[in-house]
Homo-oligomer: A and B are copies of this chain.
Amino acid sequence: MPIRIAESVLAGAESGAAEIDGWLDALRSRRTMQVRQVGLDELDGWSTDQDTGVIRHDSGKFFTIEGLEVHVPGAPVPRWSQPIISQPEVGILGFLVKQFDGVLHCLIQGKTEPGNYHGLQICPTVQATRSNYTMVHGGKAVPYLEYFQDAPPHRVIADVRQSEQGAWFRRKRNRNMIVEVTGEVQLLDGFRWVTLGQLHRLLHAEDLVNMDARTVLSCMPFAGPGLAGALPAGRDEFHDALLASCSDDRGSLYSVGDILSWVTEARSHTDIFTREVPLKHLPGWRKTDGRISHESGRYFDIMGVAVRSGTREVGSWAQPLIAPVGTGLVAFLVARIHGVLHALVHTRAEPGYVDVVELAPTVQCTPGNYTVLPPAARPRFIDAVLDAPPERIHFDTILSEEGGRFYHARNRYMIVETDPDAAFDHPDFRWMTLHQMVGLLRHSHYLNVQARSLVACLHSVTGVRPAADRAGRP
């Protein structure tokens, strides 16, 4: 499998671009979605509980917006309250893959979600909540779902539940699946087979490859014997160190046992207490003009939209969305250690995590929020990311978070090289190789969704292309 992945990474990266861009443009011209902002009290099919203020769908399904009280003893901000999305169901995010002319291809989908910043984005083959695929909405069936629901006799390449934003979702997990088929697959309108190389090129475009596609891509077994050897080395020292990072025979600063013990220590000693509280009269938050906002104007709003679409399972619907204030920053500092690229990973607690802390990017924040937060809350190592010279920035693209729950939620994703000096020694941070992260991605709740996106971004840099190619929309 690793060698087949390497071959797919190299295939088509430089070719087929115009054709794919044409396909996307054609979809964009047809896939119009009308999204109109409406007040939370005017959402068809949704109601607000009189006593608690909880917002829920009349079917009792999909998701609810609730209030949460958080207490993190000893933290710079030890207590706060916030709205949060509760969606206990496990949905499916899945890529179907298939070999064409000896090369592995992924079945991508062009889809528009109401919260998308740039309209159409690239999604995995299937992206469905359980309410969605059990057709609570009374709409059409989800295409290709049968390959994931009855995966055998197909080959399951990855199958793991992963968390999503723990600041916005309470205990949300989606099942990330990659399933290989060998038989004939009907190609439906809006879908297309692409190589990993082609998908990696698209990942460098702003707001194009969506969060769901990125998290599934990160679960590719993109490591192991033969993978690095099958990718072309010798371009520069950074790239060679990146390839070495895909192989466990090239060593690592810490053993997997060390890393697991460090995670155990963090999870044993971090206290984060959460409690459901009424959304109505949530301290620090107010409802005005049909939106719920923080009194500082920061963090996020809860807003409502009414949607009309000609090409979805349901033609029109309304729903609440989380609308973050400001663009976020999500970055890995990476360093060459004994010729092997390591990323500086952070044990981060978020109120919605199932298991206390997860491994997060070096920096993950919304810089604008720090205007209203105490100085001690300012993220560590943010200056090393923002002050890096251009030649040490290996990935720098604004990507969107899930447009089905978030409105114009965008983060600047960066991979920034640094020197592995003592300034980065901190008990909450550790240097890890890419193959160590990929190994942990076989299991739930180790890497958070932002770190998984960056793993997909790191993978996308393995196929050699000059740095000048790597910016801009394809």
Q: Which residues of A contact B (CB under 8 A)?
A: 90, 151, 156-157, 159-161, 175, 256-258, 260-261, 264-265, 267-269, 354-355, 442-444
Contacts and interface: CB of A to CB of B under 8 A. Distances in A.
Nearest to A257: B156
B355 A265 contact: no
Contacts of A264: 159-161, 175, 444
Given A161-B267, A175-B268, A354-B355, 20 more contacts: A90-B267, A90-B269, A151-B261, A156-B257, A156-B258, A156-B261, A157-B257, A159-B257, A159-B260, A159-B261, A159-B264, A159-B265, A161-B264, A161-B268, A175-B264, A256-B442, A260-B442, A260-B443, A355-B444, A443-B443
Contacts of A90: 267-269
Give the number of times this chain occurs in the complex, counting copies: 2
Closest 7 CB pairs of A and B: A159-B261, A90-B268, A156-B261, A159-B264, A175-B268, A443-B443, A160-B264
Query: A258, A268, A442, A444 — which one has the most chain B CB atoms within 10 A of its CB?
Result: A268
Contacts of A354: 354-355
A151 to B, nearest CB: 7
Contacts of A175: 264, 268
A160 B264 CA distance: 6
A443 B161 CA distance: 15
Nearest to A269: B90
Contacts of A161: 264, 267-268
A178 to B, nearest CB: 11
Contacts of A265: 159
Contacts of A260: 159-160, 442-443
A405 B151 CA distance: 43
Which residue, of A151, A442, A444, has the highest number of chain B Cβ atoms within 10 A?
A444
6 contacts: A90-B268, A159-B257, A161-B267, A175-B264, A256-B442, A260-B442
Contacts of A257: 156-157, 159, 442
A217 to B, nearest CB: 17
A4 to B, nearest CB: 15
Contacts of A151: 261
Nearest to A151: B261
Contacts of A267: 90, 161
A151 B260 CA distance: 13
A125 to B, nearest CB: 17
Contacts of A268: 90, 161, 175
Nearest to A261: B159
Contacts of A159: 257, 260-261, 264-265
A256 B221 CA distance: 13
A160 B265 CA distance: 9
A299 to B, nearest CB: 28
